[in-house]
């Protein structure tokens, strides 16, 4: 099959005007000028997308579809701790069926906004089998919390792996330093060599206060509900995370310094943290969620400094308990408002860089022979800068392909 468009943005060299992509099975086999491609592959079915630009599908590096139904339900709170209490109260009213509906609707919304791959943390891996099959590529991360029962870490990890191992792509997500024990982090690292790992780290000022100063609203709240606070005082969240990891220091197999962890947030870093990070060989992947960041009013995200250290920063939407939609286009625009960065570099954060964070740099995020045929198309005008136009796109997607199959972007999951 040949897919023709007015332009193809490959993220693998300059965009191709009047371009075409040849798809066979689930893969891209060729990319080039339509005139050349159609001569080479005569007789192939042609899908002509007309005056549209063809792009690699977007990759959401951090979200929680569990909470799609909480959109607009939790107003911004005075503190991060108040928000945790508010979401816990909202969650206590939800049934397993509510979560199933929430996740199914999340998939539909993500798809409508051009997302073809999603890294989704779920607190309920046992519900996955009851969901409508998602027609987008999903990394399921079991979100794990053992705050009140750290002796159960092994059991928790084994149970999650058992529930997820039949999925095509999965990983583990000890929730955060303030809810997951050291043992749980270690067990997640030991669970499997190739498993992706993600966690929330250094998200809020209150998390910094808790670990560094053994005080503040988060400290008091968690102490009140019975968490052992013995790990608080003296170390920043990042320092504590690095200490936990010292004993295992897991890398991706076959790589020298690429770290296995995709860290969500990293907003709150002390100067001493940057000194530590600069000394480290390991390079983390970081998921930044600009609109959720704005909702919470976190400290300015240290984008340039993290990039200068060599970290791979990509974009995620986070959940609708702290965001308005699951649109990565809106996320790119929100990022653009805060940073001096070209639209092309922003688009990389939702494609190439997010693919790298999921260890899919040779399969996703670009339109390139041998890569998965995950493609989207948006209308384009004649005169404007192509990447500026992409980042400015606000409508629903009109056409998409996942794994070489065209998918109706606005229909329910099939």
Chain centroid offset of residue 226 CA: 31
What's the closest the beta carbon of residue 196 comes to Zn ion, in angstroms?
15
- CA–CA gap between residue 237 and residue 405 (Å, rounded): 43
- What minimum distance in Å lies between the beta carbon of 79 and Zn ion? 17
318 versus 348: smaller Cβ distance to Zn ion: 318
Q: Which residues of 357-393 are buried (b: 16+ CB within 10 A; e: fewer)?
A: bbbbbebbbbbbeebbbbbbbbebeeeeebbebbbeb
CB of 346 to Zn ion, least distance (A): 20
How far is Cα 290 from Cα 301, in angstroms, rounded to an integer? Answer: 9
Sequence-distant (≥ 6) Cβ neighbours of residue 279 within 8 angstroms:
none
User: Would you list the DSSP string of 5-35?
Assistant: EEEE--SSSS-EEEEEEEEETTEEEEEEEHH
Name the residue nearer to Zn ion (CB basis): 4 or 62: 62
Name the CA radius of gyration of the chain, rounded.
21
Contact map string, positions 375 to 414, toward Zn ion, x by CB under 5 A: ----------------------------------------
Minimal distance, residue 318 CB to Zn ion, in Å: 5
Least separation in angstroms between residue 64's CB and Zn ion is: 6
Residues numbered 175 to 234 that lie near Zn ion (CB under 5 A) are none
The stretch near Zn ion (CB under 5 A) out of 228-236, 273-281, 310-318, 329-337 is: 310-318
Q: CB of residue 83 vs Zn ion: minimum separation in angstroms?
A: 12
Residues in the chain: 414
Q: What residue is closest to Zn ion based on CB?
A: 318
DSSP 367: -
Nearer to Zn ion, 239 or 318 (CB): 318
b (16+ CB within 10 A) / e for 120-138: bbbbbbebbeebeebbbbb
- Segment near Zn ion (CB under 5 A); pick from 207-215, 304-312, 316-324, 357-365: 316-324
Number of amino acids touching Zn ion (CB under 5 A): 1
CB of 265 to Zn ion, least distance (A): 8
- Nearer residue to Zn ion within complex by CB, 259 or 318: 318
CB of 225 to Zn ion, least distance (A): 20
Segment interacting with Zn ion, rule: CB under 5 A, options 3-11, 126-134, 234-242, 315-323: 315-323
Cβ distance to Zn ion smaller for residue 177 or 375 = 177
Closest to Zn ion by CB, 268 vs 318, is 318
- Contact status, residue 60 vs residue 119, Cβ threshold 8 Å: yes
Contacts 24+ apart (CB under 8 A), 86-89: 87/321
Q: How far is CA 287 from CA 101, 178, 199, 351, 356, in A?
A: 26, 19, 10, 12, 11
Tokens matching residue 211: 């670990």
**CA dist., res. 133 & res. 413, Å (int):** 6
Per-residue binder mask for Zn ion (CB under 5 A), 317-336, x = binder: -x------------------
Residue among 268 and 374 whose Cβ is closer to Zn ion: 268
Residue with tokens 């780290």, as numbered in its chain: 201
- Closer to Zn ion by CB, 60 or 236: give it: 60
- Site mask, Zn ion, residues 57-96, x = CB under 5 A? ----------------------------------------
CB of 299 to Zn ion, least distance (A): 17
Residues 6+ apart with CB under 8 A from 179: 145, 146, 147
Of residues 52 and 68, the one with the C-beta less far from Zn ion:
68
Q: Where does this chain bind Zn ion (CB under 5 A)?
A: 318
């Amino acid at each position: 099959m040949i897919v023709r468009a007015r332009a193809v943005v490959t993220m693998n060299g300059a965009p191709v005007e009047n371009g075409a992509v040849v798809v066979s099975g689930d893969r891209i086999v060729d990319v080039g000028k339509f005139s050349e491609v159609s001569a080479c592959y005569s007789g192939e079915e042609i899908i002509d997308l007309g005056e549209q630009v063809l792009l690699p599908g977007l990759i959401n590096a951090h979200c929680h579809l569990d909470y799609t139904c909480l959109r607009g339900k939790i107003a911004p709170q005075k503190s991060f701790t108040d928000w945790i209490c508010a979401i816990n109260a909202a969650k206590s009213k939800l049934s397993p069926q509510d979560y199933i509906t929430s996740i199914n609707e999340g998939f539909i919304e993500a798809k409508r906004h051009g997302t073809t791959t999603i890294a989704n943390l779920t607190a309920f891996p046992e519900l996955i089998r009851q969901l409508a099959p998602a027609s987008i590529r999903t990394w399921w991360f079991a979100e794990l919390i053992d705050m009140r029962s750290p002796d159960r870490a092994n059991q928790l990890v084994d149970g999650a792996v058992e529930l997820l191992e039949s999925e095509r792509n999965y990983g583990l997500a000890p929730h955060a330093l303030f809810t997951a024990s050291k043992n749980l982090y270690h067990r997640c690292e030991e669970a499997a060599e190739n498993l992706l790992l993600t966690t929330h780290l250094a998200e809020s000022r209150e998390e910094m206060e808790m670990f560094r100063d053994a005080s503040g609203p988060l400290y008091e709240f968690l102490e009140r509900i019975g968490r052992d606070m013995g790990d608080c005082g003296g170390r920043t969240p990042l320092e504590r995370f690095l200490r936990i990891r010292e004993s295992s220091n897991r890398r991706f197999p076959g790589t020298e310094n690429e770290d296995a962890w995709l860290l969500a947030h990293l907003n709150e870093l002390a100067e001493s943290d940057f000194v530590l990070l600069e000394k480290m060989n390991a390079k983390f992947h970081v998921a930044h969620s600009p609109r959720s960041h704005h909702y919470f009013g976190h400290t300015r995200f240290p984008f340039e400094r993290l990039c200068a250290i060599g970290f791979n920063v990509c974009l995620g939407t986070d959940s609708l308990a702290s965001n308005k939609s699951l649109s990565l286009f809106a996320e790119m625009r929100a990022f653009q408002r805060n940073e001096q960065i070209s639209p092309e570099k922003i688009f990389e954060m939702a494609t190439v860089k997010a693919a790298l964070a999921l260890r899919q740099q040779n399969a996703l995020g670009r339109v390139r022979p041998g890569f998965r045929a995950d493609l989207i198309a948006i209308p384009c005008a004649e005169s404007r800068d192509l990447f500026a136009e992409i980042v400015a796109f606000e409508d629903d997607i009109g056409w998409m392909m996942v794994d070489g199959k065209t998918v109706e972007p606005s229909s329910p999951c099939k």
